[in-house]
Amino acid sequence: HEEKLLSSKSRELIAPKITPRAQAGIGFGGQSKNQNPKAWLAVEQAKVLKKEGVIRIDQVMSGHVADELREQILQQQVVAQTRTEDDPSTSRTYYGVENRRKNRCDLQLSLLQGGYAADNGGQVDEDEPHAVAEALQELLGTNGSLRMLYENLVTLQGEFYEFAALVTEPGSQRQTVHPDLPFNEVAPLYVVFIALQDVNFPMGPTSFLLRTHTKQKNEKFNIQSEKDQLLRKADTRFSTLKKGDAVVFDARILHCGNANEPADGSTRVLFNFSFRNPQVTGDLGYPGSIRPGYCGALTLGGIQEALDLYGAGDKNPFASYSDGLIQT
């Protein structure tokens, strides 16, 4: 029913064309009007995100880094499946919010070199590639493609709230339309999905209902007699992506993952993390997918400091945060 209501107006989500303005000259008091182009771009991207509830940003991650991270994630998915089949009580160690849906999971990641192999003090070759650190360096490091946008949205004090990979397989069913968390007047959480391979429509891209992150739209969505009309009139965009492309969204926006088709679909892997807005305190009503030992342990500033160490030659820069597991 929902799918029929949305499909008539559904279009592809396109990255906005943001053209840099010429900002040369000397301003009041002798200060240059020149602005860091990346800082200016982040401000403009944040404006689009706050207006629409979501923004597509192309090529935030290089192809070879996406390939390496995807390979590691799929290897770790096999490890997680084997370990949880042997001991179902360990499920929460590996899986987050989406751990009981058929052909769909949120695989909670480790920040350590070697990933799950380093769990509980496991030994890892010091020359082992660190796919997670490489990816985060491209995204949030000194010249990271998303660094300044997230600084603009949540400041350096923004809590690292989710850290996972969303994996869907052919046969994964379509989600119902939903926001990720209960409505709050201030945006509590900004989430990113990064495609680690091309995502076509049969693979079940996420659809976003533009400008539904407002109080008015949230109230209509929660009134059954008005919900259908809201969905029918919604400006819906599906996020088919190229490898390395991203969508960043306000967690209040209405969205849903589409079905990964049994015949024409294929494995879809999205790198997923989020940062919490420090202006919003208390329980968000949404736990997020992250290993429990990382909850409340890192901020955007802390991530950046660790990535500075990585850039300086530290091969395991998140070692002080351990594997994210809580020993009992």
Question: Residues 12, 16, 21, CA angle at the centre, nearest 5°?
Answer: 170
Query: Residues 119-163: pLDDT tens digits?
Result: 999 999 999 999 999 999 999 999 999 999 999 999 999 999 999
pLDDT of res. 157: 98
Query: Are the beta carbons of 178 and 298 closer than 8 angstroms?
Result: no
pLDDT of res. 90: 87
SS3 111: coil
* Gap between the Cα atoms of 180 and 286, Å rounded: 7
Query: Are the beta carbons of 245 and 196 closer than 8 angstroms?
Result: no
pLDDT of res. 28: 45
* Gap between the Cα atoms of 239 and 249, Å rounded: 12
Length reported for the chain: 328
End-to-end CA distance of the chain: 46
Query: Are the beta carbons of 238 and 205 closer than 8 angstroms?
Result: yes
pLDDT of res. 56: 98
Beta strands in 79-220 (DSSP E): 104-108, 159-168, 189-195, 206-209
- Which residues of the chain fall below pLDDT 70? 21-34, 98-101, 328
* Gap between the Cα atoms of 153 and 143, Å rounded: 17
Half-sphere exposure of 151 (CA within 13 A, CB side): 20
Query: Are the beta carbons of 231 and 199 closer than 8 angstroms?
Result: no
Query: Residues 94-124: pLDDT tens digits?
Result: 998 766 567 999 999 999 999 999 999 999 9
